Amino acid sequence: MTVLTRGANTAISEAPATVAVTGTTPGSVDLFVFQVDNTRKVRSDDDLVFFNNPASPDRTVTLDADGQVRLDLPAIDAGIDMIVIAVSVDETVPGPLSAVPTLAVSLSQPGGETITAAIDGLTSERSAVLLEVYRRNGEWKARNVSAGWDGGLVALVTEHGVAVDDTPAEPATTPGPAQLPTAPPPAPAATTPLAAVVDAAGVRTVPAEARLSLEKRQKLDLRKQEVTKVLLTKGARNYVGRVILVIDKTGSMSRRYSGGEVAEIVRRMVPVATQLDSDGQLEAYLYGVKFAKLPDVTVDRVDEWIDDYIHLHGRHGGIDYDRQIGGINDEIPIMSEVIAGLDRDTSVPTLVLFFTDGGFNKRTAIQKLIRQASSRPAFWQFIGIGRSGFGVLEKLDSLSGRVVDNAGFFAVDNVDGLPDGRLYELLLSEYPDWLRAARAANILT
């Protein structure tokens, strides 16, 4: 038996397949099957198979009353790129999918081994995609998705191109095959904040991820897995605390901003925050000769945040980027600010991710700050962008006079040129070593 963790995929044969979903009962937890094209949308209502429409017109996809989905893969229309197996809690039933203890999905084929998708990471979602069966380079594959939406049925079907009238309709004497259940009313506001959860593979999910589109969530999941892989390989434990992002906003960074490299840096640091920051948010600063503290980057509003704040000039979010931040670099004010704000609670480790294209000319002052910070619960990871001289940063490993080695440095020509796995390896490989050293020195408990 093959067990797919969340986000993992495997090849399957082009033979009839049976997908068994347990934990579903019509009117309680409903099962839906979407046949979608390369836009990830259904072509018409006929491409939606569920209890009110238990078979596609050509009967290549059928749904049994006991929760078995039959897929005649050799006969699936060439216009179908993916078959999506999904579930949704009925509007009359309280609680999220994570409260359904028997929810599980497996795929079997004649003469082949059974593939089971582990349903991990669901928290407050009332609808979710469990499994995707899709074509890739001429072969069929299956992927464990285990991701969904707090918005329930409406969010699920809308994501896959099915229109829903959210007002009660007059009863039809003969319901059409794709007549959907009435849309649920808005869920009441939560009285207490939802906590992050950690799945069996050690990947952490924060509540805001439920508001992402399925496509964005899948990409985020892959990056989170790469972050977790580095941390677990290095034996990191009890590492959740704070993540602070500092980005150089000087004139020499112009090409990095205009070309989208800085925007992509922000996107790729968010998965780090989901794994290492207690609330999954990324504290952010831009700096030049001075600095500006920006609103935290949240996982569900990354693109909007980038549009609002990743600029070299102008006025954004009430901040005058030219006058309040400036266009030349001086690292002392921003480093002093971060050090002053470090939590003295010895149970909270902080990771500072500092992106710059060079400068750092105040060697003595910078060394003094790094030594000062070595008794605080923070590790500084400096990332040099480009081929400029990085001065004192290149000699951090041999800097004397520190309680522990609290800083690392690496340089790359272009961050975009690094695959996710390699980037996270460079970013995080020294952090677990610092955690152990800081605990040994009673900087962390």
Instruction: Convert the pLDDT of each residue in 272-289 to its tens digit.
Output: 999 999 999 999 999 999
Q: How far apart are CA 351 and CA 366, in angstroms?
A: 18
Q: How far apart are CA 359 and CA 244, in angstroms?
A: 20
* Interval 210-223 mean pLDDT: 87
- Residue extent(s) of CATH 2.60.60.30 domains in the chain: 2-192
Q: Is 329 helix (H, G, I), strand (E, B) or coil?
A: coil
Q: How far apart are CA 155 and CA 32, in angstroms?
A: 13
Q: Say how far residue 268 (Cα) sits from the centre of its chain.
A: 9
Phi, psi angles (nearest 5°) of residue 334? -70, -40
Burial of 96 (0-12, 13-18, 19+ CB in 10 A): buried
Tell me how crowded residue 90 is: count the other CB atoms within 10 A of its CB. 16
pLDDT higher for 281 or 151? Answer: 281
pLDDT interval class at 194 (50, 70, 90): low
Whose CA is closest to 416, among 443, 395, 445, 386?
A: 386
- Residue extent(s) of CATH 3.40.50.410 domains in the chain: 210-440
Phi, psi angles (nearest 5°) of residue 362? -85, 70
> Residue 171 pLDDT more than 50?
no
Q: What is the DSSP letter of 55?
A: B
Task: Quote the strand ranges of 120-215, DSSP E.
Answer: 127-136, 139-149, 197-198, 204-205
Contacts of 332 (CB under 8 A, 6+ apart): 362, 365, 366, 369
Q: How far apart are CA 409 and CA 39, in angstroms?
A: 42
384-394 per-residue burial string, b: 16 or more CB within 10 A, e: under 16: bbbeeebbbbe
Which region among 184-193, 214-223, 238-247 has the lowest average model confidence (pLDDT)? 184-193
pLDDT digits (tens, 9 = 90+) for 337-393: 999 988 666 778 999 999 998 877 788 999 999 999 999 999 999 999 987 778 888
Average per-residue pLDDT for the chain: 87
pLDDT digits (tens, 9 = 90+) for 237-271: 667 899 999 999 999 999 999 999 999 999 999 99
Which region among 41-55, 59-73, 181-195, 388-402 has the lowest average model confidence (pLDDT)? 181-195
pLDDT of residue 239: 79
Tokens of 154: 């409406």
Q: How far apart are CA 21 and CA 103, in angstroms?
A: 7
Q: How far apart are CA 397 and CA 408, in angstroms?
A: 7
Architecture of the domain defined by 210-440: 3-Layer(aba) Sandwich (3.40)
Phi, psi angles (nearest 5°) of residue 416? -60, -25
Phi, psi angles (nearest 5°) of residue 111? 75, 5
pLDDT digits (tens, 9 = 90+) for 57-104: 999 999 987 789 999 999 999 999 999 999 999 888 888 999 888 899
pLDDT digits (tens, 9 = 90+) for 295-339: 999 999 999 999 999 999 999 999 999 999 998 889 999 999 999
The CATH code of domain 2-192 reads 2.60.60.30
Contacts of 26 (CB under 8 A, 6+ apart): 51
